[in-house]
Amino acid sequence: EMSAFPAAAFDNEVEYVVDEHGVALIRLNAPKRMNTMSKKMNMGVQVALDMAAEDAAVRCVVLTGAGSRAFCAGGQLGDERDGAATGFLGRAGDAIPPTAAAAVRKLRFG
């Protein structure tokens, strides 16, 4: 059985699913803009990390980006003043289970 969270709450910018093996997949889902981190995307990643940390069935978290051009091209212009691009990263070590991986393909900026 797979579980998910309401991606529509974050304009579908973040997808979160847990598969039957306990692998939680968090996907940045804004490939047209190279997955730049918006405020909503940042909040969605934070919620997904919290859900993974609270779910005893989650054994591993994989963070990846949609599309083939970039994993994440940094903060979305205009949002960086509010810390949107780095908000979840500052607390990620506290929020995720011990086993985590980043599936990075292509570019990562910021």
Determine which of 18-22, 25-29, 73-77, 90-94 has the lowest per-residue pLDDT on average: 90-94
pTM score, two decimals?
Answer: 0.73
Q: Is residue 35 a contact partner of residue 45, using CB atoms and an 8 Å limit?
A: no
Give me the domains of the chain, ranges plus CATH numbers.
3-108 (3.90.226.10)
Give the pLDDT confidence of 66-86 residue by residue, as tens digits.
988 888 888 877 765 555 445
Dihedral angle sign, alpha carbons of residues 72, 79, 41, 60: positive
From CA 18, how far away is CA 30, in angstroms rounded?
20
